[in-house]
Amino acid sequence: MTRHDRPTARLALGLSLALGPVSPALADRIVTDQIGREVIVPDTVERAVVLQHQTLNIAVQLDAQGQVVGVLDEWTKQLGPGFARLAPGIEDLGTPGGLTSVNIEELLALDPDVVFVTNYAPAEMREQIESVGLPVVAISLLEVPPEEAVKQSPVVGGDEAAAYDAGFRQGVRLIAEVFGKVEAGEELIAAATESRALVAERLADVVEGDRVRAYMANPDLTTYGTGKYTGLMMAYAGAKNVAAEQIQGYKQVTMEEILGWNPQVIFVQDRYPQVVDEIKAGPSWQPIDAVKEGRVWLMPEYAKAWGYPMPEAMALGELWMAKTLYPERFEDIDMDARADDYYRRFYRVPYRP
């Protein structure tokens, strides 16, 4: 399809969406997104707008950044200012919206072939984009029923690890398929999952009662409970998420709750370094074991302890966390060397600037 043909194609697509399901014979491709919707996308995607930071991060690792013409407006907040080094030129891209809203005029000015959104993007936001003939692909990196998939904090139920493992693979493959990077997607999945067996083997004899009590500190006393990848990351690394038994999803908690949990270690994501200073200097934090013992750790750039799993967090972050908690069991592991190998392979830059 040429650039000249796109307005007519969009009009036809908008009409087809209004009329109902479209026969595959009339479409370039039909993919199923992660909230269970069938979406018609062009056979070749040259211009994508990505309004979700997880998808943007994965797209860069798939070497698809050259096909991205617009990104979410809060990419710096969500990915950290250092992400610009991993995605050169990102500062020059259009920012027509964010996780829960979009500016249609600015979006159309970018002339995209497809728009990626988060699974919990409001239905009216998706409909607004589709009404102008643009296909919308929602990504969750989690396998749950459609009624839960559209929520910011879905109730996973059952086996959380299996739901995230399956959802991660589905999400990466979907993003890779849309961008035409299928082989790269399989390579990324393999790299993301290969170190987990090593960690499991070395922590096999750590019983539940001996797991280190850990808390993930975010700004404004927000943290992750059950139903989020962060808790699984801790579990794989031999830690116990102290918030898991009392909260679901991503929520604000009270200082009284944290004092009651009394974590032995506190982790802080790389994108929130100010939280480390707040904890170390804050009088209300001082009675907590983690603070008294100097075990408040800012996580490295690759250890993305987000609600959804990222490939580098699985490949490197879980291993880093396990080594941090149980250094004597991982003395032979050189994290900088492993990170450098990963960064050169998938980000095409060295780990250290």
Mean per-residue pLDDT for 300-329?
Answer: 96
Q: CB of 128 within 8 A of CB of 17?
A: no
Q: pLDDT tens across 156-191, in order?
A: 888 999 999 999 999 999 999 999 999 999 999 999
Integer CA distances (angstroms), 296 to 215, 264, 285, 335, in order: 10, 9, 11, 19
**CB-based contacts of 179, cutoff 8 Å, min separation 6:** 45, 48, 59, 62, 64, 67
At 302-312, the pLDDT tens digits run 999 998 999 99
Q: Amino acid identity, residue 175?
A: I
**Residue 178 burial by Cβ neighbours in a 10 Å radius (0-12, 13-18, 19+):** buried
Please, are residues 200 and 236 in contact by the beta-carbon 8 Å criterion?
A: yes
Residue 11 pLDDT? 45
Comparing 80 with 219, which gets the higher pLDDT?
Answer: 219
pLDDT band at 80 (very low <50, low <70, confident <90, very high): confident
| 238 pLDDT more than 90 | yes
Task: Residue 239: name the closest of 303, 311, 158, 194 by CA.
Answer: 303
Show the tokens assigned to 98.
């964010």
Cβ atoms within 10 Å, residue 55: 27
> 154 pLDDT exceeds 90?
no
More reliable by pLDDT, 8 or 35: 35
Catalogue all structural domains in the chain, each as residue range(s) with its CATH number: 6-193 (3.40.50.1980), 204-347 (3.40.50.1980)
Asked if the model's pLDDT at residue 17 lies above 70, the reply is no
- CB-based contact 189:309 (threshold 8 Å): no
pLDDT in tens, 240-277: 999 998 988 899 999 999 999 999 999 999 989 999 99
pLDDT at 62 over 60: yes
Section 72-94 average pLDDT: 95
Structure tokens at 16: 């087809």
| pLDDT score recorded for residue 335 | 97
Closest to 50 measured CA to CA, from 93, 18, 16: 93
